[in-house]
Each structure stands twice: as C-alpha cells, then as structure tokens.
C-alpha cells in the first residue's frame, strides 16, 4: 500500500501499538457527522512513496512535528504550573501559530487534531478525517502495522487542492490526568469536564493508547 514510509521516530510520543488494539470503536456513532460535509468535496488517498508528493509530505511532517512538540510541552508546562482541573479550560494550544514556510516550498496552512473519541465538538472529524481515523482503527483491530503517516488530496470545484497529512497520536502518562480512566480522574477534573464538555468521550485511555490524529493541511508551492 506504500503507506509506511513516515518517520514516526522523530515524534515525541512513544506509541505502543499493541495497546492501541484495546481502543473501542465509536465509528458507528460518528458516521453521521460526515453526511453534512460539503457534498462537492472529494478526497482520495495518495501513496506516500509517490515522489511527486515528497515536498508536500515533508511540509506536513515538519508542521506535525512542530505542533506535536508544542502540544506535549504545553501539557507539561501547564501541569507544572497549575492544577489539572484549572488547566481543563486552557488546553490545547489556543494561541498556536504555524511556523512560516520556506520560500518556494509547500506551506502548512492549517493544523488540527481529531479523534474517534471526542472531547470537543469543535474537533469533530469530517469525511476525510473519518476515513483516516477508520483506516487506523481497522489496522489496529486487525493487529496489522499502523501507517505512520497518511496522505490525502481533497478537492472542491474551483478551489486549489488541499493536501492533508495525517499522523497518529498516542498518549503519554501526563495526558491521563484529563484523558485517563474515569474512576482515576480527580473529582475537580471530572466536574470541570462535565461543565465544559458535557458530551465528553475522551476518557478511559491508558498510557500509550491511540488517541487520534494530528492533521496538517498543505498548500502546494505557488508556481513561479
């Protein structure tokens, strides 16, 4: 399938793939979310080994590295300076700014995170996201290797194509103060979550579990 050419080793999270198989399926509940997506928008998978996509993939990889590091250091910093309950209203990266692209190179134009087990409705997957999440979940369920990076091309009439680079995201022990098993959560964290995210599904994870994906949207370099 040519999907395994990513460089997950650069990523700050150490993922234990075998634990990811325990992750339950919510895909059935979420399929409906894709129905309302722009009907004219289509996406297709692109082979990550395709040499014509190398610059796009590299830009996506760089953006995801940057964002992943920022996410992890924000969690560490926040937990060192405040209580998890107070931190619930502050995460993740509300002020994040993408690094500037090198001249003449494809540019990351947006970055987001999404999951099959959602906390914030603002992070809900669209049709392309859901395809990426389901592809990963199916690999985990089957006990197969999980692609380290995925590449999609999304097209809408009259718009330049949006390239999407996806990378699976795992949980470190620090994440568990807000995404861990319900019974182990601090009661103040629980009540903050209930207040701010009444439909929260993003709990009951274990360290190393699969959490979701980081997605970078890349615009091809302008033609000179």
The residues that touch ligand HEC, with contacts defined as CB under 6 A, are 71-72, 75, 84, 87-88, 91-92, 113-115, 118-120, 123, 169, 171-172, 174-175, 177-179, 202, 211-212
We find the least distance from the C-beta atom of residue 158 to ligand HEC, in angstroms, to be: 31
Structure tokens at 151: 């590449």
We find the least distance from the C-beta atom of residue 16 to ligand HEC, in angstroms, to be: 14
- Of 56 and 71, which has the nearer Cβ to ligand HEC? 71
- Of 68 and 106, which has the nearer Cβ to ligand HEC? 68
**Nearest CA among 102, 81, 28, 75 for reference residue 171:** 75
**Nearest CA among 20, 59, 12, 9 for reference residue 146:** 20
Angle between helices 27-35 and 127-142 (to 10 degrees): 160
- Of 5 and 174, which has the nearer Cβ to ligand HEC? 174
- Of 37 and 124, which has the nearer Cβ to ligand HEC? 124
We find the least distance from the C-beta atom of residue 84 to ligand HEC, in angstroms, to be: 4
- Of 48 and 78, which has the nearer Cβ to ligand HEC? 78
- Laid out side by side, the sheet with 210-219 consists of 42-45, 150-155, 162-170, 210-219, 107-114
- Give the span between the Cα atoms of 190 and 77, in whole angstroms: 21
Going by the DSSP 8-state scheme, the letter that residue 61 receives in this structure is H
We find the least distance from the C-beta atom of residue 138 to ligand HEC, in angstroms, to be: 19
We find the least distance from the C-beta atom of residue 93 to ligand HEC, in angstroms, to be: 7
3-state secondary structure 151-191: EEEEECCCCCCEEEEEEEEECCHHHHHHHCCHHHCCHHHHH
């Amino acid at each position: 399938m040519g999907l395994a050419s990513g460089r997950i080793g650069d990523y700050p999270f150490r993922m234990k793939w075998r634990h990811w198989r325990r992750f339950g399926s919510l895909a059935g509940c979420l399929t409906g979310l894709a129905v309302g997506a722009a009907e004219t928008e289509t996406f297709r998978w692109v082979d990550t080994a395709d040499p014509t996509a190398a610059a796009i993939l590299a830009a996506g990889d760089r953006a995801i590295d940057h964002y992943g590091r920022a996410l992890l250091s924000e969690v560490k910093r926040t937990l060192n300076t405040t209580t998890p309950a107070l931190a619930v209203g502050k995460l993740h990266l509300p002020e994040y700014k993408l690094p500037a692209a090198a001249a003449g190179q494809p540019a990351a134009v947006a970055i987001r995170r999404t999951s099959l087990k959602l906390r914030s409705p603002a992070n809900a997957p669209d049709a392309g996201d859901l395809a990426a999440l389901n592809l990963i979940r199916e690999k985990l369920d089957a006990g197969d290797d999980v692609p380290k990076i995925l590449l999609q091309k999304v097209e809408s009439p009259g718009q330049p194509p949006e390239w999407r680079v996806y990378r699976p995201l795992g949980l470190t022990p620090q994440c568990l103060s807000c995404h861990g098993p319900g019974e182990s959560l601090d009661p103040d964290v629980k009540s903050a979550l209930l207040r701010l995210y009444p439909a929260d599904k993003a709990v009951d994870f274990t360290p190393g579990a699969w959490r979701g994906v980081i997605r970078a949207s890349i615009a091809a370099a302008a033609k000179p």
